Amino acid sequence: MDYRQLGKTDLKISAIGLGTMTFGDQNTEAEAHEQLDYALAQGINYIDTAEMYPVPPKAETFTRTESIVGSWLKHQARERIILGTKVSGPRRGLHWIRGGPASLDKANIRAAIEGSLQRLQTDYIDVYQLHWPERNVPMFGQYQFDPAQEFASGVYGQGQEQAWVSIRNQLETLGELIKEGKVRYIGLSNEQPWGVMEFVRIAQEYNLPRIASLQNGYNLINRGMEFGMAEVLYREKIGLLAYSPLAFGHLSGKYIDNPATKGRVTLFQGYAQRYNKPNVSPASAAYAELARQHHLTPSQLALAFVYQRWFVTSTLIGATSMTQLKENIAAWNVKLSSEIMHEIENLHLRMMNPAP
């Protein structure tokens, strides 16, 4: 396992991180602990969770994942683990989380961190992230910025403009948590280039904490990170925590021959709109065929591609079985040749970003 510096911090993070969003829904506590034990034994030191998890988010299950991670964490040497969690933002209809939440103001961020610390049974979070921007941005399958959404009426130029807590105020609150020792470093998730640069600019202008990481989706059929964001990460020295490397399971190949195969796609139909687009299935089938031509499994091809990208600091993998987890970690040893990479690029140019 490789270990890489996360942004400008002193954290050395494993090149593979363990995602936990199935814990408490698709995985029991015992199964989750088995995954965590195995991941740690394989050299994985980054564990990623969120107050909203498990996914899909539901009133009856939210916060369950953090509690399961916490019941494992209390038996570990805390200094061996780099722990990341996230505060949920507004605009997603999650009315069961702090009544909305209405915003990423001081009250909501503070309530969120206190809850997470208690459930995770720890005194501090290594990387505390804003799960998604408070302002109007395209995300989770949306891909076009719509200025009409700036207004409560939904009609551009009419109605009351929707307010959002300024980036400066968000950073000030996060800075207080760092000074209090509850958070070591901060990061963003599901952000856009403008937002990343504003967080960097405002932190520098007002001497506030600088973001260390960005957690965005990245895989063979969702390569939007390469259109501008990769340069931002490089020049600003921000670490990318790439999630969904198997594209909700589509790139594992299991839905190609049997679309009814049990998995997240069939269990949670209609949830991940990013992967409900017309060219997702044809592209997934093409990459699966490429993998088999080179005597690889579709999962090995998809994971090895993300593992080898120069701008990815850590790839967050998730699994519902130990068999899946072992294959995902073992794919670290698969190195794609220049020939395979060339063929991947050809497919990409023919079916570019079918799941933005």
> Whole-angstrom Cα distance, residue 350 to residue 237?
32
Q: What CATH number is given to the structural domain containing 318?
A: 3.20.20.100
Residue 135: give the domain boundaries.
3-247+306-335
Q: Which two tokens stand for residue 252?
A: 């594992």
Give me the pLDDT at residue 265, please: 76
296, part of any domain:
no
On whether the pTM is more than 0.75, the answer is yes
Average pLDDT, the chain: 94
What integer pLDDT is reported at residue 92 of this predicted model? Answer: 85
**Closest-CA residue to 191 (of 212, 171, 215, 172):** 215
pLDDT for 156-191, tens place per residue? 555 566 789 999 999 999 999 999 999 999 999 999
Q: Are 164 and 103 in contact (CB under 8 A)?
A: yes
- Residues 211 and 196: beta-carbon distance below 8 Å: yes
**Domain annotation covers residue 9:** yes
Q: Would residue 67 count as lying in a domain?
A: yes
280 has pLDDT over 80: yes
278 within a domain of the structure (yes/no): no
Q: 306: which 2 tokens?
A: 């993300």
The pLDDT confidence band at residue 148, using thresholds 50, 70 and 90, is confident
Instruction: Kindly state the tokens that stand for 55.
Output: 């996914």
279 falls within a domain:
no
Give the range among 72-76, 118-122, 258-262, 347-351 with minimum mean pLDDT: 258-262
307 tagged catalytic: no
Gap between the Cα atoms of 326 and 42, Å rounded? 9
Domain tally, the chain? 1
* pLDDT in the model for residue 262: 77
Distance CA 57, CA 67 (A): 15
pLDDT, tens digit, for every residue of 79-135?
999 999 999 998 888 999 999 888 999 999 999 999 999 999 999 999 999 999 999
**89 falls within a domain:** yes
Tens of pLDDT, residues 238-249:
999 999 999 999
Q: What percent of the chain has pLDDT over 70?
A: 97
Whether residue 148 is contained in a domain is answered as yes
Position 32 in a domain: yes
Radius of gyration of the chain (CA): 20
Whether the per-residue pLDDT at 304 is higher than 90: the answer is yes
pLDDT of residue 149: 85
Distance CA 95, CA 115 (A): 17
Given 38, 46, 53, 124, the catalytic residue:
53
